Amino acid sequence: MSPVYSMTFAVLDMKPEPYAVAPILSARIGVAALGAEPVHAVALRSQVRIEPHRRSYTDEESAGLVDLFGPRDRWRDTQRSFLWMHCATMIPGFNGGTEVDLPMPVTYDFEVTGSKYLHALREGTVPLIFLFSGTVFIKGSSGFAVQQIPWDREDKFDMPISVWHDLVAAHFPNSGWVRLTKETLDALAAYKSSHGMLGFDDAVTRLLEHSAEEIP
């Protein structure tokens, strides 16, 4: 019996999941197992990382990335691969090869590094690397046998930034999420009420206008 360690993975495509309640991307994963024995199931896990050094940036994008990487002249030292998410799925039995959709839950929280990075991009692609791991269930001498997917199974994929923009626009049209402490939220609510405003967006806009007026 050929070892299942010959199993390989390739990212074929990525798109928004259209009917999900929460924002989810779907990565189409091609799986190949070169062994002769059929695979009964695979518990697949993937760590998805962003590799920012693998693309170029416009001046507008560069300005939006200062919080993450500092000024552009420091990027040689500061642009390092960073974690975007962990995701997982079960692959049903197959023989030889198959394709499966890997769900990737996405957050729009601007406190998260991945969201900050993606929000700054205007065009081009997002340089991703998928690091695969998990458990393979195959036929053994006494029923089922279990083998682990080696840690060196990986694949790179350049996701069009338009895929993420479409996903965010579908779930958060013309809006975003900013996390505030309870004290800040209470103070903002008090300011909103005292000025007879209907929403927090109006309160923040008024404060920004006053701040701009005070700048000489």
139-158 per-position pLDDT tens digit? 766 677 888 998 899 999 99
pLDDT in the model for residue 171: 86
Domain count, the chain: 2
Question: Are residues 152 and 187 both part of a single domain?
Answer: no
Q: Which of 33-47, 68-82, 165-179, 182-196 has the lowest mean pLDDT?
A: 165-179
Tell me if 114 is assigned to some domain: yes
Beta strands in the chain (DSSP E): 8-16, 24-32, 39-50, 82-94, 97-105, 125-140, 143-148, 154-160
Question: Are residues 16 and 39 both part of a single domain?
Answer: yes
Tell me if 177 is assigned to some domain: no
- Residue 199 is part of which domain span? 182-214
**Residue 21 is part of a domain; what is its CATH number?**
2.60.40
pLDDT in the model for residue 1: 43
Question: Are residues 27 and 134 both part of a single domain?
Answer: yes
Compute the distance between CA of residue 79 and CA of residue 67 in angstroms, rounded to an integer: 12
Question: Are residues 194 and 137 both part of a single domain?
Answer: no
Question: Are residues 197 and 98 both part of a single domain?
Answer: no
Question: Are residues 152 and 196 both part of a single domain?
Answer: no
Question: Are residues 128 and 191 both part of a single domain?
Answer: no
Tell me if 103 is assigned to some domain: yes
Q: Considering the chain, what is the average pLDDT of its residues?
A: 88
Compute the distance between CA of residue 63 and CA of residue 9 in angstroms, rounded to an integer: 36
Tell me if 155 is assigned to some domain: yes
Question: Are residues 144 and 77 both part of a single domain?
Answer: yes
pLDDT tens sequence across 11-70: 999 999 988 888 999 999 999 987 767 899 999 999 999 999 999 999 999 999 999 999
Compute the distance between CA of residue 35 and CA of residue 95 in angstroms, rounded to an integer: 9
Question: Are residues 46 and 114 both part of a single domain?
Answer: yes
Task: Give the pairing type, strands 82-94 and 97-105.
Answer: unpaired
Q: Which of 136, 118, 135, 119 is nearest to 127 (CA)?
A: 118
Question: Are residues 148 and 47 both part of a single domain?
Answer: yes
pTM confidence score: 0.83
Tell me if 193 is assigned to some domain: yes
